[in-house]
Amino acid sequence: MNTQKVAITIPKKIVTMIDMISKQKGISRSRYISSVLHEKLANEQERSMKEAYDRIFSDAEIRKEQLETVNWFEESGDVEGQEW
């Protein structure tokens, strides 16, 4: 993994908690902070993606078009090639 050192200021209480948890897990402070940040950023990216989908599909015209497409597929009666 390509890494870069950064200097940040963190309240002492949080550093103490980080050190305690990373010691319990048997990993370095740096690795623990990286894993927590990675998880947080993945969650943030997922939330952002969901918001984008919600914005798109909250549009009445797009929602209508999607429903019409679904109905067309359902009424076609032919499910071959629609395994997804």
- For the chain, domain boundaries: 12-75
Average pLDDT over residues 70-83: 74
CB of 20 closer than 8 Å to CB of 32: no
For the chain, give the percent of residues with pLDDT over 90: 57
pLDDT 10s digits, 43-55:
999 999 999 988 8
Which has the higher per-residue pLDDT, 72 or 36?
36
Res. 59: pLDDT tops 90: no
Contact assessment for residue 56 and residue 63, using Cβ atoms and an 8 Å cutoff = no
Give me the mean pLDDT over the 69-79 stretch: 79
Q: For 15-30, what is the mean pLDDT? A: 97
> What b-and-e string marks burial along 20-54, b requiring 16 or more CB atoms within 10 Å of the CB?
eebeeeeeeeeebbeeeeeeeeeeeeeeeeeeeee
